[in-house]
Structure formats: C-alpha cells, structure tokens
Copies of this chain bind each other. A is one copy, B any other.
C-alpha cells in the first residue's frame, strides 16, 4: 500500500509496545467472540450484535497513542479503542446485556457505548455523523490552545454520507486537530466498494479538502501505529487534520444475523490469511525473537479476565423502570 508522497522509513518498535498492542487486539477479539458466539446466542445480548473481527489493528495501532486529554469517536468496529481508554470488559459486557452498570446504564445497547470521563463518544448510529462532531471536539481544543487531538473512526460506507463531506471540509478550513482513521473494509453492510464509489481509494477524496493522507495496510498494526504517529504529531503541532485510510476486511457478517452470502468466498479466504493478530505475532517472532509461549500466556490472561467479567456482568441488575424518565433534561 502506498503513501501519498515520500515513503516513510520504518521506525523501531519495542517489544513492550508490541505486547501491549497484542493484548488489546486479543482482548477485543475474544471479548467480541464471547459476546457474539455465546452471549448473543444464549439470548443474554438482545438487539443487534456487531463485531470488528479482523479489524482490531486499526483501533489498537492508533488509540494507543492517545493521551488523557484527547477525545475519541470510535465506530461500531473499534471496541479496542474503548479498552485502551481504560473502559473495562466488565463495563462493556454489562452494556451489551443492558445492565444498569453498563456504560449507558441500559439506556442504549450493545456497541452504542462510550464514556464522558474517558473521552469516548458513544457511536452515533447515523453513519457519518461523528465526523462533524469530531470537528467540534477538536475546535474546543484549539479554542483553549491545547495540544490535545481527536481520533475519529469511520468506515468506507460513511464516506458516502453528506456529513462526512461537510465535516472533513470544515475541519480542513478551520485547521482542526483531528486524526481520521478510515477503516475501508470493502463493504457497507452488503454493498461492495464498487457500488459505493467509482474510485478505489477513499483517501484520494480527501485531497479535495486540502488535507494530508496516507493509505496503509489496515491489518498491519505496526504500519497503522507508524502512520498514526505521523498523523498525531501533525495534529498536535497545530498543523490541522490528517487522514489515514486502512485497507482491511470485515471478517464477519454486518451483524450477527447476517451470513454475508454476498461476499465472494475467494475474497473472504484471501483476507482470512491476513489475520492482524497472527500478523503481529509473526512480526514479533521474526523481528524480536518472541516465542509462542508469550502468546499462549497472553491469551490465557485475556480469557480469564473475560471469564471474570462475564460472571460479574451477569450478576448486575437491570435498570429500575422507575428511572425511565430521568436524565432527559438536567434536573434542577
């Protein structure tokens, strides 16, 4: 995959960072599997059920660079961004199951979650709507002269929405500190890229806003991390927004009820050989001599954390119907 201008030299990454990246990718993968393949099927999770399987590298490689004062607006395939912000598997599981201890206290469901204290805007279902919102979050940072930035996440489908256009243009005009992570997973629900747009790279659209961009392998967490470092440095330095298109693939249906028959088998298989977790593990083995045991241990740790969180979450109460009408307006 190509960058817009000069090629970027590969920076050194240390093993501690890699373990951290791997931990969050594994946690997202396993937590979502647990939710989709167990809790959802058991009827413990109601409504829709969306996962980011195969796309874990994107939130992980980027959000790991966030500072406490930054804001994130993750999409519905970026659970790891929340984990990195300190949101716990307990809170996420309670959220999915509609418990009062979930992030939205049962008012909203499944991946529609976020948290004001940890600066994560819960996803806005209207696809694309988070782009202008990211602009406002970033505007407030400029307003106060901070070096904080916004990490905005969206998909290829979002790039067809008017809000996407208005928001990116405004960010460019107002020179707002935003790093856009576009997960181009080649489908919006059942609609393949070539029915969404007549171009092959969404990033090229961004040239029309006067904004720098890169295109990276969205399954290679180290590439994302590197590109994000450049983007973050650019935005923190007050040089405005920066767009990263991550080529990836949705290794699941649009949601749990979707068998995704419309995806050609060859395409799915090709991408299944490019699993981002295995790719990172390979890089760790080949580049830093990590051995399998590390991965086995990490996975064990993740699974036991999930186990603990599931049983905690299952014990949490549902919201009290008496609270139904609270919090529509400020109570005075």
**A residues apposed to B, CB below 8 Å:** 160-166, 169-170, 172-173, 195-199, 204-211
**A196: which B residues are within 8 A, CB to CB?**
173
> Which B-chain residue is minimally distant from A170 (CB atoms)?
B160
> Known contacts A205-B208, A207-B204, A207-B207: does B197 contact A173 (CB below 8 Å)?
yes
Complex CA gap A40/B198 in Å reads: 47
**A165: which B residues are within 8 A, CB to CB?**
161-162, 164-166
Complex CA gap A199/B211 in Å reads: 9
**A160: which B residues are within 8 A, CB to CB?**
166, 169-170
Complex CA gap A104/B197 in Å reads: 37
Which 9 A-B residue pairs are closest in the complex by CB-CB distance? Answer: A162-B162, A198-B210, A205-B208, A165-B165, A172-B198, A199-B210, A208-B208, A162-B166, A162-B165
Listed residue (A169, A196, A205, A211) with the most chain B CB atoms within 10 angstroms of its CB: A169
**A173: which B residues are within 8 A, CB to CB?**
195-198
Contact indicator B172/A161 (Cβ below 8 Å): no
> Which B-chain residue is minimally distant from A240 (CB atoms)?
B198
Q: How far is the CB of A154 from chain B (nearest CB, A)?
A: 14
Listed residue (A165, A173, A207, A209) with the most chain B CB atoms within 10 angstroms of its CB: A165
Q: How far is the CB of A160 from chain B (nearest CB, A)?
A: 6
> Which B-chain residue is minimally distant from A203 (CB atoms)?
B208
